[in-house]
Amino acid sequence: MSTIFVTGATGLAGSNICKQLTARGDRVRALVRSPSDAEPLAKMGVDLVEGDITDAKSVKNAAAGCEAAIHSAALLGGSSQDLADFEAVNFDGTRHVLDAAAQLKMRRVVALSTGTFFDLTGGLPLEEAPIAEHPSDDPYTVTKLAAFREATSRAAAGQDVLTCHPGAIYGPGPVPKRALARTSFNRVLLAGLRGKIQRYLRFPVTWVFSEDVARGSIAALDRGVAGERYAIEGRPEDVLSTAEGCNKACIVAGVTHRVEDVKVSDDPALMQEFGPTLVAIAKMDRGDPSKRPTDNPTSRRLGYYPVSFESGLAALVQWLRELGRLD
């Protein structure tokens, strides 16, 4: 039995990671800002330690006695972004976890990242693609890229660190309030199901079921290799636009509403409506989709096999109905 330190434990990815770790018999220590908001985690046996990822001392104190860490805490992109806030959570928070792991001699850190700053136009899979020459300058991408560089530099220096890069996470979460946060893809899908979204920017979305993100992250903890990166995404055939994702959810739920795709442009109204991160993602050149590699290095290396989008949506719809959030 291992004791695993988890950050971002109340979030959609982190809460599912806690659930799966405890289910297999591991002890879990979670850094949380408000223990009262993390009551579902306490009920499953997670040891809650009050603190903040932006405070190095509280991170180290919470991590003491843990053998490894899964770092999923992050500030996500939204319509309003303050660079200093993003730096404090996404970059400094990552440094604090890596510093604590080194000082406490943890055997491994799995850091959850993103795929928004890789150049996928050359036909290489995300696991092997270079960083884009001109990545987006929105605060989310800037700070997540800085955190990724920090993790890879630590790995090159000998620390056992690896990164996981989830796609757009959706699905049930043990902490419903956080699983349905304003910036979550769950919130977007729910708005589509309720008919509150009429249109959405068109860009390919690599949907991934929340429980699959947890499974992939734990597989990386168990079987990953220091310095490697792993794409924790859904099936290649399930890469769809947000509007298409909402429409599939509506079909699964028996809802007649449909969402329209919108092509990105320099119209300031789009920036106001969707925010800088989504506009930047929509403008990214992803190359010819027909030339994307069919090989999946993460599946080969970790034995990671995601569920279908339809299966994940069925679980999401059932969960939303159980919560009383969907008729």
* Position 244 in a domain: no
Question: CA-CA distance, 247 to 144, in Å (whole number)?
Answer: 30
Do the beta carbons of residue 264 and residue 283 sit within 8 Å?
yes
Q: In this structure, is residue 246 part of a structural domain?
A: no
Prediction pTM value: 0.93
Mean pLDDT, residues 156-172: 97
Count, residues in the chain: 327
Q: Which domain holds residue 72?
A: 3-180+208-234+292-307
Distance CA 144, CA 147 (A): 5
Mean of pLDDT values over 14-38: 96
Residue 143, domain member (yes or no): yes
Residue corresponding to tokens 């809650």: 48
Q: Which of 68, 46, 314 is nearest to 189 (CA)?
A: 314
End-to-end CA distance of the chain: 42
Q: Which residues pair with 254 in a beta bridge?
A: none
288, pLDDT greater than 70: no
The two tokens of residue 82 are 């303050």
Q: Is 252 inside a domain boundary?
A: no
Q: Of 113-122, 137-146, 187-196, which one has max mean pLDDT?
A: 187-196
pLDDT at 289 over 70: no
Predicted pLDDT of residue 79: 52
Residue 146 placed within a domain: yes
pLDDT at 35: 92
What is the arithmetic mean of pLDDT over 5-23? 98
Provide the mean pLDDT of the chain. 93
Confidence of residue 123 (pLDDT cuts 50, 70, 90): confident
Q: Is residue 164 part of a domain?
A: yes
- % of the chain with per-residue pLDDT over 90: 81
The domain that contains 18 carries what CATH number?
A: 3.40.50.720
Mean pLDDT of 121-140: 90
CA–CA gap between residue 99 and residue 106 (Å, rounded): 10
pLDDT in tens, 41-93: 999 999 999 999 999 999 999 999 999 999 999 998 665 578 999 999 999 99
How many separate domains does the chain show? 1
Asked if residue 280 is part of any domain, the answer here is: no
Residue 1 has pLDDT above 90, yes or no: no
Q: Is 27 part of a structural domain of the chain?
A: yes
